[in-house]
Amino acid sequence: MSEAGDFANEQLLQVADVVNLSYYVQAFREIYATKEISSAEDLAGVKIRVPESSLYVNTFSMLDAAPTPLPLGEVYTAMDTGVVDAVENIPDTAVHNSWVEVAPYMIVTNHLNAPSTIYMSNKVFSGLNQDEQNLLLQAGYENFFYALELSQEKDAQARDELAEVMTVITPDIQSMRDKIDYTNYDFMELEEAQKLKEGKGTWGGE
């Protein structure tokens, strides 16, 4: 486990009282839109569906878009009726929700690669003996590599399917990066985040 992973595990334990057994690395997230988006300028005013998360809302607000939190199940109808102009998510989700029917453009931004976690109650974990704990941790370790391979296979397949029926755009990523203030996030107030910002991080970065 990397130092960043150890820090994340400690946060889960302290904040949620859960023990992280494994990570499930998901694919990079892209944008699926009803209009062409080739640069940050094209994102201005775009009503984009985002999860109910300050991270997403803050990011797309800085890009001058209009982030619109909506349940995932409402996205298809929302784009079909013009309530939103775009949505962001992994390609596999786009395939299984048939967004290609209402959003003809796939904008390859690779803007986030967010892992999920497989965890359990710390109270239950602490009640197990050492052998049982080790068995769960080993299973979690092995699951990471299996899940990573599975995620990569599903992502490649989904991208191929979308490329056959959507217009795939590689936008000017730098124009988007230039509009992001990386200090404008709540997590940047954390001591570890400040160390990383100053180049003194202990998470393996320089």
Q: Which of 111, 116, 117 is nearest to 88 (CA)?
A: 111
Q: What percent of the chain shows pLDDT beyond 70?
A: 89
| pTM of structure | 0.83
Q: What is the pLDDT of residues 144-177, one digit of tens each?
A: 999 999 999 999 999 999 999 999 999 999 999 9
> How far is 39 from 171, CA to CA, in rounded Å?
5
How confident is the model at residue 201, as a pLDDT?
37
Q: Which of 53, 88, 37 is nearest to 79 (CA)?
A: 88
The residue type found at 70 is L
Cβ pair 168, 106 in contact under 8 A: yes
Cβ pair 177, 109 in contact under 8 A: no
Cβ pair 202, 65 in contact under 8 A: no
> How far is 101 from 79, CA to CA, in rounded Å?
10
Average pLDDT for residues 62-66, to the nearest whole number?
Answer: 97
Name the token pair of 75. 């996205």
DSSP 8-state symbol, 128: S
How confident is the model at residue 193, as a pLDDT?
59
Q: What percent of the chain shows pLDDT beyond 90?
A: 75
